[in-house]
Amino acid sequence: MNYAAVFLDRDGTLIEDMHYPKDSNQVILIPNAIEGMKLMGEKGYLLFIISNQSGVGRGIIQDSEFKSVHEKFCELLKQAQIKIDGFAYCFHHPDDNCRCRKPHTDLIPKVFNQKPISFKESFTVGDKLSDLELADNLGAKGCLVLSGKGEATQVELNNANRQFQYAIFPDLLSMAKSLPCIIS
């Protein structure tokens, strides 16, 4: 049996987007994010946090500041009893042309506990176009949440002269409710 996963963006999807977050005291969960993650887990999905953090590569965020923000985020998840199966961050500057920066796929695990992840049955969730394009590059389903920069991304999608198959949700809980249950 293959695993199905949800690959979640962090800033603007799970926590308020503070634009290069470096103060752990400003880490605030977005309403319904915890409930959404709990429901995804209950339905049988692995949960991965996949996030571009170019503030580190740009020199705007120091390593110690990034670590402090990450630790506060993990503390909030632990208090809510949310199990995250993996974290992956790209610290590169966008001009570095790395293969790990979303929408590229090098941060994405291909297996978990020695079993493959089925991207066809997996989802990416975020508030930016790169989160949706990550789904395209994986062969997964892309979901836009209207938190963070989601409303601006929706306008961008609506103004683009291209077809897209992304589902759009007001928040993470409504997205989680739409997922099929994969636990038998």
Show which residues are catalytic: 9, 11
- Cα distance between residue 177 and residue 179, in whole Å: 6
Q: Is 118 helix (H, G, I), strand (E, B) or coil?
A: coil
CA dihedral 158, 163, 165, 171 (to 10 degrees): -10
- What burial letters (b/e) apply to 134-157, b meaning 16+ CB within 10 Å? bbebbebbbbbbbbbbbeebbeee
Sequence-distant (≥ 6) Cβ neighbours of residue 166 within 8 angstroms: 132, 135, 142, 143, 144, 157
